[in-house]
Chains A and B, each alone.
Chain A
Protein backbone atom coordinates (compact mmCIF):
# COMPACT_ATOMS: atom_id res chain seq x y z
CA UNK A 1 0.00 0.00 0.00
CA UNK A 2 2.21 2.76 -1.34
CA UNK A 3 0.39 5.96 -0.52
CA UNK A 4 3.56 7.99 -0.94
CA UNK A 5 5.94 7.15 -3.76
CA UNK A 6 9.41 8.26 -4.63
CA UNK A 7 10.10 6.67 -7.97
CA UNK A 8 13.76 7.58 -8.20
CA UNK A 9 15.86 5.54 -5.80
CA UNK A 10 18.95 7.61 -6.55
CA UNK A 11 20.07 10.90 -8.05
CA UNK A 12 23.53 12.28 -8.79
CA UNK A 13 24.14 15.99 -9.26
CA UNK A 14 27.22 18.16 -9.73
CA UNK A 15 28.08 20.53 -6.93
CA UNK A 16 26.54 23.94 -7.54
CA UNK A 17 23.74 22.60 -9.72
CA UNK A 18 20.10 22.16 -8.80
CA UNK A 19 18.87 18.91 -7.26
CA UNK A 20 15.21 18.06 -7.85
CA UNK A 21 13.68 15.26 -5.85
CA UNK A 22 10.18 14.13 -6.68
CA UNK A 23 7.36 12.58 -4.73
CA UNK A 24 3.86 11.45 -5.65
CA UNK A 25 0.98 10.56 -3.39
CA UNK A 26 -2.35 8.85 -3.87
CA UNK A 27 -4.39 9.79 -0.81
CA UNK A 28 -6.29 13.01 -1.47
CA UNK A 29 -6.85 13.40 2.29
CA UNK A 30 -3.19 14.24 2.84
CA UNK A 31 -2.92 17.91 3.70
CA UNK A 32 0.56 18.27 5.10
CA UNK A 33 3.81 17.22 3.50
CA UNK A 34 7.33 17.06 4.81
CA UNK A 35 10.80 16.28 3.59
CA UNK A 36 13.29 14.53 5.80
CA UNK A 37 16.97 13.98 5.24
CA UNK A 38 18.75 10.92 6.56
CA UNK A 39 22.43 10.19 6.96
CA UNK A 40 23.66 6.64 7.61
CA UNK A 41 23.33 5.54 11.24
CA UNK A 42 21.17 8.55 12.08
CA UNK A 43 17.45 9.13 12.31
CA UNK A 44 15.55 11.21 9.76
CA UNK A 45 16.03 14.95 10.23
CA UNK A 46 13.26 17.37 9.39
CA UNK A 47 14.11 19.58 6.45
CA UNK A 48 11.09 21.50 5.20
CA UNK A 49 7.31 21.17 5.10
CA UNK A 50 4.33 22.51 3.23
CA UNK A 51 0.65 22.72 3.98
CA UNK A 52 -1.88 21.93 1.27
CA UNK A 53 -3.09 25.52 1.32
CA UNK A 54 0.22 26.57 -0.22
CA UNK A 55 1.95 25.61 -3.42
CA UNK A 56 5.45 26.69 -2.48
CA UNK A 57 7.56 26.99 0.63
CA UNK A 58 11.13 28.18 0.66
CA UNK A 59 13.82 27.95 3.30
CA UNK A 60 17.27 29.02 2.21
CA UNK A 61 18.57 26.65 -0.45
CA UNK A 62 15.55 24.38 -0.09
CA UNK A 63 12.20 24.91 -1.79
CA UNK A 64 9.26 22.55 -1.79
CA UNK A 65 6.61 22.78 -4.49
CA UNK A 66 3.19 21.21 -4.20
CA UNK A 67 0.88 20.45 -7.11
CA UNK A 68 -2.33 19.23 -5.52
CA UNK A 69 -4.14 18.49 -8.76
CA UNK A 70 -1.30 16.19 -9.82
CA UNK A 71 -0.76 14.90 -6.26
CA UNK A 72 2.90 15.68 -6.72
CA UNK A 73 5.51 17.47 -4.71
CA UNK A 74 9.13 18.19 -5.31
CA UNK A 75 12.11 19.38 -3.34
CA UNK A 76 14.57 21.69 -5.02
CA UNK A 77 18.03 22.22 -3.58
CA UNK A 78 20.05 24.99 -5.13
CA UNK A 79 22.96 25.24 -5.18
CA UNK A 80 23.66 21.62 -4.25
CA UNK A 81 26.57 20.99 -1.92
CA UNK A 82 28.50 17.78 -1.17
CA UNK A 83 27.12 17.87 2.39
CA UNK A 84 23.64 17.47 0.94
CA UNK A 85 24.50 13.89 -0.02
CA UNK A 86 22.01 11.78 1.96
CA UNK A 87 18.76 9.87 1.58
CA UNK A 88 15.75 12.17 1.26
CA UNK A 89 12.34 10.98 2.38
CA UNK A 90 9.06 12.54 1.42
CA UNK A 91 6.29 12.15 4.02
CA UNK A 92 2.63 13.02 4.16
CA UNK A 93 0.01 13.33 6.84
CA UNK A 94 -3.62 14.12 7.50
CA UNK A 95 -3.44 16.91 10.06
CA UNK A 96 -7.05 16.70 11.07
CA UNK A 97 -6.59 13.08 12.01
CA UNK A 98 -3.85 11.23 13.75
CA UNK A 99 -0.66 12.85 12.70
CA UNK A 100 1.26 9.74 11.85
CA UNK A 101 3.45 10.14 8.83
CA UNK A 102 3.35 8.10 5.65
CA UNK A 103 6.80 7.92 4.15
CA UNK A 104 8.09 7.29 0.67
CA UNK A 105 10.94 4.84 0.08
CA UNK A 106 13.53 7.58 -0.20
CA UNK A 107 15.88 8.96 -2.85
CA UNK A 108 19.62 8.76 -2.34
CA UNK A 109 21.15 12.05 -3.45
CA UNK A 110 24.84 12.18 -4.27
CA UNK A 111 26.35 15.59 -4.88
CA UNK A 112 29.59 15.25 -6.78
CA UNK A 113 32.30 17.80 -5.91
Chain B
Protein backbone atom coordinates (compact mmCIF):
# COMPACT_ATOMS: atom_id res chain seq x y z
CA UNK B 1 0.00 0.00 0.00
CA UNK B 2 1.36 3.48 -0.88
CA UNK B 3 2.86 5.37 2.04
CA UNK B 4 3.76 8.89 3.01
CA UNK B 5 7.39 8.81 4.10
CA UNK B 6 8.88 11.23 6.61
CA UNK B 7 12.51 11.76 7.52
CA UNK B 8 14.09 11.92 9.98
CA UNK B 9 11.99 10.03 12.49
CA UNK B 10 13.56 12.01 15.32
CA UNK B 11 15.38 15.34 15.20
CA UNK B 12 17.03 17.05 18.14
CA UNK B 13 18.03 20.65 17.64
CA UNK B 14 19.22 23.56 19.71
CA UNK B 15 16.93 26.50 20.28
CA UNK B 16 17.41 29.12 17.59
CA UNK B 17 18.60 26.66 14.97
CA UNK B 18 16.86 26.05 11.67
CA UNK B 19 15.36 22.64 10.95
CA UNK B 20 13.96 21.11 7.81
CA UNK B 21 11.52 18.25 8.08
CA UNK B 22 11.13 16.17 4.96
CA UNK B 23 8.22 14.31 3.49
CA UNK B 24 7.64 12.25 0.38
CA UNK B 25 3.89 12.23 -0.32
CA UNK B 26 2.15 9.50 -2.26
CA UNK B 27 3.07 9.96 -5.90
CA UNK B 28 -0.35 10.65 -7.44
CA UNK B 29 -1.54 12.87 -4.59
CA UNK B 30 -2.00 16.56 -5.27
CA UNK B 31 -2.69 18.06 -1.85
CA UNK B 32 -0.14 18.15 0.93
CA UNK B 33 -0.42 19.04 4.58
CA UNK B 34 1.56 19.48 7.74
CA UNK B 35 0.07 18.84 11.14
CA UNK B 36 1.69 18.73 14.54
CA UNK B 37 0.94 17.17 17.89
CA UNK B 38 2.49 18.55 21.04
CA UNK B 39 2.88 15.77 23.58
CA UNK B 40 -0.44 15.00 25.25
CA UNK B 41 -2.36 17.47 23.13
CA UNK B 42 -4.51 17.28 20.02
CA UNK B 43 -3.26 17.03 16.46
CA UNK B 44 -3.27 20.57 15.03
CA UNK B 45 -3.40 21.75 11.44
CA UNK B 46 -0.45 23.84 10.28
CA UNK B 47 -0.69 24.28 6.53
CA UNK B 48 -2.07 22.88 3.30
CA UNK B 49 -0.34 23.13 -0.06
CA UNK B 50 -1.60 22.70 -3.59
CA UNK B 51 -0.27 23.60 -6.99
CA UNK B 52 2.97 24.89 -5.54
CA UNK B 53 1.40 27.32 -3.17
CA UNK B 54 -0.08 27.48 0.29
CA UNK B 55 -3.85 27.10 0.14
CA UNK B 56 -4.58 27.43 3.84
CA UNK B 57 -2.58 27.99 7.01
CA UNK B 58 -3.37 28.18 10.70
CA UNK B 59 -2.33 30.89 13.14
CA UNK B 60 0.38 28.53 14.37
CA UNK B 61 2.04 28.77 10.97
CA UNK B 62 3.73 32.13 11.46
CA UNK B 63 6.70 33.70 9.70
CA UNK B 64 9.06 31.19 11.30
CA UNK B 65 7.53 28.43 9.24
CA UNK B 66 7.73 27.82 5.51
CA UNK B 67 6.92 24.96 3.17
CA UNK B 68 8.36 24.03 -0.15
CA UNK B 69 8.07 21.40 -2.81
CA UNK B 70 11.63 21.64 -4.13
CA UNK B 71 11.25 18.86 -6.69
CA UNK B 72 8.57 16.50 -7.93
CA UNK B 73 8.62 14.25 -4.90
CA UNK B 74 9.63 16.04 -1.70
CA UNK B 75 7.55 18.33 0.49
CA UNK B 76 9.44 20.11 3.25
CA UNK B 77 8.61 22.08 6.37
CA UNK B 78 11.24 24.56 7.52
CA UNK B 79 11.32 26.18 10.92
CA UNK B 80 13.69 29.11 10.73
CA UNK B 81 14.61 29.67 14.36
CA UNK B 82 13.29 26.94 16.59
CA UNK B 83 11.78 27.63 20.01
CA UNK B 84 11.30 25.23 22.89
CA UNK B 85 7.57 25.21 22.25
CA UNK B 86 8.13 23.91 18.72
CA UNK B 87 8.92 20.52 20.25
CA UNK B 88 6.23 18.23 18.90
CA UNK B 89 5.49 15.37 16.56
CA UNK B 90 5.13 16.73 13.04
CA UNK B 91 2.96 14.78 10.62
CA UNK B 92 2.95 15.18 6.89
CA UNK B 93 -0.13 14.06 4.98
CA UNK B 94 -1.29 13.95 1.40
CA UNK B 95 -4.56 13.40 -0.43
CA UNK B 96 -5.67 12.80 -3.99
CA UNK B 97 -8.40 15.32 -4.01
CA UNK B 98 -9.66 18.32 -2.15
CA UNK B 99 -12.96 16.58 -1.54
CA UNK B 100 -12.57 14.55 1.61
CA UNK B 101 -15.51 12.33 0.86
CA UNK B 102 -13.84 11.05 -2.24
CA UNK B 103 -10.41 10.63 -0.78
CA UNK B 104 -11.44 8.91 2.44
CA UNK B 105 -9.36 11.29 4.42
CA UNK B 106 -5.69 11.93 4.15
CA UNK B 107 -2.83 9.48 4.31
CA UNK B 108 -0.50 10.46 7.12
CA UNK B 109 3.18 9.74 7.48
CA UNK B 110 4.64 8.26 10.65
CA UNK B 111 5.82 11.63 11.84
CA UNK B 112 9.03 13.35 12.84
CA UNK B 113 9.55 13.90 16.53
CA UNK B 114 11.22 17.29 16.89
CA UNK B 115 12.90 18.01 20.21
CA UNK B 116 14.19 21.53 20.76
CA UNK B 117 16.69 21.82 23.60
Contact A43 B33 (CB under 8 A): no
Contact B108 A99 (CB under 8 A): no
Which residues in A have their C-beta under 8 angstroms from that of B104?
46, 49
Task: Say how far B7's CB is from chain A's closest CB, in angstroms.
Answer: 13
Interface size class of A (residues with CB under 8 A): 20 to 34
Q: Known: A41-B110, A43-B110, A45-B108. Is A102-B45 also a contact (CB below 8 A)?
A: yes
Number of interface residues, chain B, beta carbon within 8 A: 30
Which residues in A have their C-beta under 8 angstroms from that of B9?
41
Contact A100 B91 (CB under 8 A): no
Per-residue CB proximity of A28-57 to B under 8 Å, as 1/0? 000010101000011111100101000000
Task: Say how far B108's CB is from chain A's closest CB, in angstroms.
Answer: 3
Binds B, one of A10-18, A60-68, A71-79, A103-111: A103-111
Which residues in A have their C-beta under 8 angstroms from that of B107?
46
